[in-house]
């Protein structure tokens, strides 16, 4: 991706995986947005950048909870676009050794993973699932609050 004047130009490689192209952009923008919310917090208006509907403001003491809720929501959005999936180092082997022969119609080989440490591998599976759920939730928050990302 590059800029030509004020226009974004995307190459074929940029569009092969829009996740790889857009995640760094969205992550950087959300990190900056969050830091600006924190910096501007005490300037002209205490609710600057906090959308309506984030908590219920009845008295002055409610502000801190509402503010922290919004900062936490933005933090989850940042995680969704910047966090790396858990990594596991195991021995990848050709699937035919485990009863998963190559797909004869496409010629594709199936591969399987033999964990070196089954307990570590199970922990990895749990961490991966938790990561995937958190990414989905963060992206849903981004979609829900997309029009609220301003101050």
Overall domain count for the chain: 1
pLDDT tens over the chain, length 151 residues = 888 999 999 999 889 889 999 999 999 999 999 999 888 886 666 677 888 888 887 787 788 888 899 999 999 999 999 988 887 766 555 544 455 555 566 555 555 666 677 787 888 889 999 999 999 999 999 999 999 999 8
Q: pLDDT value at position 103?
A: 58
Range of the domain at 12: 2-148
Neighbouring residues of 139: CB distance < 8 A, sequence distance ≥ 6: 77, 80, 81
Q: pLDDT value at position 27?
A: 97
What helix, strand, coil percent values describe the chain, rounded to 5?
Answer: 55, 10, 35
Q: Which two tokens stand for residue 130?
A: 């938790």
Core vs surface per residue 25-53: b (16+ CB within 10 A) or e: ebbeebbebbeebeeebeeeeeeebbeee
Neighbouring residues of 147: CB distance < 8 A, sequence distance ≥ 6: none
Q: pLDDT value at position 139?
A: 97
Q: pLDDT value at position 112?
A: 60
Q: pLDDT value at position 71?
A: 94
What is the pTM for the complete model shown? 0.78
């Amino acid at each position: 991706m590059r800029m030509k004047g004020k226009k974004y130009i995307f190459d074929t490689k940029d569009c092969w995986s829009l996740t790889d192209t857009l995640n760094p952009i969205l992550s950087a923008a959300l990190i900056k947005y969050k830091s600006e919310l924190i910096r501007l917090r005490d300037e002209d208006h205490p609710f600057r950048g906090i959308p309506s509907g984030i908590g219920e403001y009845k008295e002055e003491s409610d502000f801190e909870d509402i503010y922290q809720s919004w900062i936490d929501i933005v933090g989850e959005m940042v995680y969704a676009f910047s966090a790396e999936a858990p990594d596991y180092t195991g021995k990848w082997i050709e699937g035919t050794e485990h009863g998963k022969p190559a797909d004869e119609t496409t010629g594709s080989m199936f591969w399987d993973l033999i964990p070196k440490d089954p307990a570590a591998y199970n922990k990895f599976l749990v961490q991966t699932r938790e990561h995937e759920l958190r990414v989905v939730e963060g992206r849903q928050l981004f979609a829900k609050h997309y029009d609220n990302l301003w101050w």
